[in-house]
Structure 1
């Protein structure tokens, strides 16, 4: 809907309106803050002087750090980025401009060429230079694409720092830069999936805290729905794929994020064994209390039931390994997480009481030499 103003409309007349009515004023009481702060003027002056001296010392230290870090070293970019994110870049405008000009002028030299396969470094350099007004071609990101011309998921999906830097770099795109449009979509898609799982984990922790605070004992079903998330094994299974190179494909992440039986069984081993060894001294609701309350059962009966469930979970894990739909190396990452729990929590809490068997395990593995007869 458009609003039209008629040029011939009669002007508003204030002929018969008094000044005090045309502009109504409010009588405010005198400020209460003047005398209040005047009492502390001398102390404030001393504080400001001291702070100014500290600021000057810190500025000199940062200046030395900027000067000591070579301009052709990736660490210089991280340093400049940190200074600007802290909001103190205006103190070092000359030094930053000098460094970034050098980076731009020597963009294709040998030193930086060695770092070009690092997504974080490439994206950070791109963003800092464009942010400073230097033109850099978005073609620098082509090396991170696959043969089909798309960003290589298998190589980049687990690189959280690189994805975040790529997302920030894409904010400096201009008209016609399709590569940066693709970079924005690609980074948002995969960062959102990680923001993972993290939200689910936080919600689970919050729900458990509410139970404890309110003295509420949930049903077995209510507890397990939350506790299988809060034990963090779902998340750990996903993050365990980081660094697996070509094996960590989008399909692998989609599979593990869908919480298949294989991953769920590993989480059950963790949750139940943890709750059993922690019963009696951990200040939180556990599956043991839930079972005893709901089934009117004894502690011994609850333990017998959960030991049976742990054994069944291991059978699920073994069965899934016989007909894998993903590479065995990925399955082994999840299996090894369950094995750690079995090692630490069998019969006692070796994680909390690390002076017991855990210390012996670490000593025998990393400290004591293996005797080879021969």
Structure 2
């Protein structure tokens, strides 16, 4: 109980020194011309260069580490001629060959599903979505015959995973045949099928609430795979590495492009590999990487021009880390515009978040959020300089995006994003009020606000904005219905963020944290609180999967972005606050995906 009691009250916070205003007129261009067609717009208002640092006892103060990346992606070598070369080769050679493999009549349904599984793992499935959906729609009508005589664990688990990945609700009962008749436990002889065990482990992460057999499969496979990975005599080295990687983070929780890069390294030493598919996967990764580098060049120029990292030195300078979130959401080359838009709005939400959480006194936060609700740059003259910078940057960013999306017929998505930004601001104000007062709400009370303060509703809306292949009206109507799926994602993000940022938030007096609130309400230690909260997260991941399998009136690509949000959360918060800490695991991921080439 002592450990629990230590965290509830506010901390003594350091003060900022008084500083002076420095006025400097500037122009803020939020989109920069590049290969991606984006309009340029000049800001009409003057910005203040520096923050006036006041000395209020209620002001938190957090010093975030500077960006590791600086201007790296402004000088990254890019050969744009490679685009055409890669695309021509892929279009003329590889895509037709794979399409023929998928549509070949002699190939049976099981073989086609296993091929789809391989395309998914190699990250090249997105070129054949229509063909894959047609194959699976037809095969799903013959589901019983597919599984009735299938006694192979690996093939059964592959079919289960592929069907569920594409929204077909295959019953988990297909795994009953691998359990004993007497004790209803998974048979021990399955352990000898290493690849089958790996595949069952991966499939077990696609469970829904009340599917106990999926929990049993996860426990069974994890226990034995940990042992199998260390058995050098029976498990080849590359397979051991594959097992260890899966145990650390299963494929379901990995970004699509991250999982593809990793699987390519595994597949290229597999016996019986298809060299054509392997080469195709490598070319695709290189093409994707070129897209990402080009987008980062655009974003880095824009971010430098805003100069917000200098004007607001208290904010986290995390453009690259923000881009990773956009990349987790959609990795496909066709979503270049989406990644740029998501990155820009996301970094603006970081600016607002840090102003409310890490710098602003509560009166300042209240003034900021009140002004945000009015969404009127003509009414911000009385605000302190740093708040004017924040408001102006957010509004101008959204105005530029509106100008870009209106000709594309996506104006409604922009307006709903603005409303969600206002809603997020109101939640930030509530959290700030609690924090500055040193008030620790109950966990239940906290979560009512935490659902909105997660920012996931807002993130989802502006993620959907750039998905021009999906009907906007249909998507917005679903979003307005307060979907259970979105609420579950809010819970997941809120609680994983609270676990990851617990220590730093306690140090700066942010006592309204989910872990701290749970400790207080239930009178438990931090360790117990984290364990129970992790269980809540797991339950909500299952809810997301259940909704993914049952919602039929929303375009599947929209639902896929929701699944990808779980992956984003895992990337950021699996080990602490990877977003805020530039020296964490995210650094290695950025290096692997955006800096290190993949040899052909």
TM-score by length of 1: 0.50
| Structure ranking higher on relative contact order (CA contacts 8 Å, 6+ apart) | 2
TM-score by length of 2: 0.32
